[in-house]
Structure 1
Amino acid sequence: MSESHNHGRQANARQLTAALALTGSFLVVEVIYAFISGSLALLSDAGHMLTDVMALALSLLALRIGARAADRKRTFGYRRAEVLAAAVNAGALFAIGLYILVEAYRRLQEPVDVQTTPMLIVAVLGLIVNIISARLLVRGSGDSLNMKSAYLEVMGDLLGSVAVIVGALSIRLTGWTWLDPVLGALIGLWVLPRTWALLRASVNVLLEGVPEGLDLDALRSEIAGVPGVTEVHDLHVWSVTTGEHNLTVHLVVPTSRMGVQDAVELIAERYSIEHVTLQLEEANRHGAHAAHLHP
Structure 2
Amino acid sequence: MGNTKEHHHHHHEVSGKNLGWSIFLNVAITVAEAIGGIISGSMALLSDATHNFSDVISLVVSYIANKLTKRKATENQTYGFKRSEIVAAFINSGTLMVLSIFIFYEGIQRFFDPVEIASNWVIWLALASIVVNGLSVLFIQHDARNNMNIKSAYLHLLTDMITSVAVLIGGVIMKYLHWYWIDAIFSTAIAIYLIYTSWHIFKSALEIIMQFTPSNIDVKDIAKSIEAIAQVKNIHHVHVWQINEHDIMFEAHIDLMKDIKITEFEPILLTIKEMLSQFGINHITIQPEFSVDDKKQLIS
Task: Please give the TM-score of this superposition, normalised by the length of structure 1.
Answer: 0.89
Residue 288 of structure 2 is aligned to residue 280 of structure 1: yes
Pairing 1:233-248 to 2, within 5 Å after superposition: 233-248=236-251
Distance 1:37 1:249, change over 3 A: same
Gaps of 5+ in 1: 288-295
Post-superposition offset of 1:260: 2.2
- State the Cα deviation string for residues 69-91 of structure 1 (Å, max 9, x = none): 11111111111111112212222
Change (3 A) 1:169 1:13: same
Instruction: Write the letter of the residue equivalent to 1:4.
Output: H
Tell me how far apart the structure 2 counterparts of residues 237 and 133 of structure 1 sit (CA, whole Å).
37
CA offsets per residue over residues 178-210 of structure 1, 9 Å max, x none? 111110111110111222222221121111111
| Aligned residue in 2 for 1:262 | 270
Deviations 1:248-270 (A, max 9, x none): 11122233546322222122222
Q: Which runs of 4+ in 1 moved over 4 A?
A: none
Deviation at 1:173, TM superposition (A): 3.1
CA contact (8 A) 2:126 2:168 kept: yes
The 8 Å contact of residues 252 and 280 in structure 1, kept in 2 or not, is answered as yes
Instruction: Give the match for residue 3 of structure 2.
Output: none
User: Counterpart in 2 of 1:149?
Assistant: 152
Aligned-partner Cα distance in 2 for 1:215–1:137:
34
- With over 3 angstroms needed to count, the CA separation of the structure-2 counterparts of 1:244 and 1:106, relative to structure 1, is same
Match of 1:36 among 26, 36, 39: 39
- Residue 187 of structure 1 pairs with residue 183 of structure 2: no
Among candidates 164, 167, 170, match of residue 164 of structure 1: 167
Structure 2, unpaired ranges of 5+:
1-6, 259-263, 294-300
Match of residue 87 from structure 1: 90
Query: Under a length normalisation based on structure 2, what TM-score does the superposition of the two structures give?
Result: 0.87
* Partner-residue secondary structure (3-state), 2:232: coil
**Structure 1 position 3, deviation (Å):** 7.1
Q: RMSD of the alignment, in Å?
A: 2.0
- The equivalent of 1:293 in structure 2 is none
Aligned residues: 282
| Alpha carbons 1:44, 1:160 under 8 Å: kept | no
Query: d(CA) in 1 for partners of 2:209 and 2:141?
Result: 24
Among 120, 123, 132, which residue is 1:120 paired with? Answer: 123
- The percent identity for this pair of structures is 26
Per-residue deviation at 1:111? Answer: 0.7
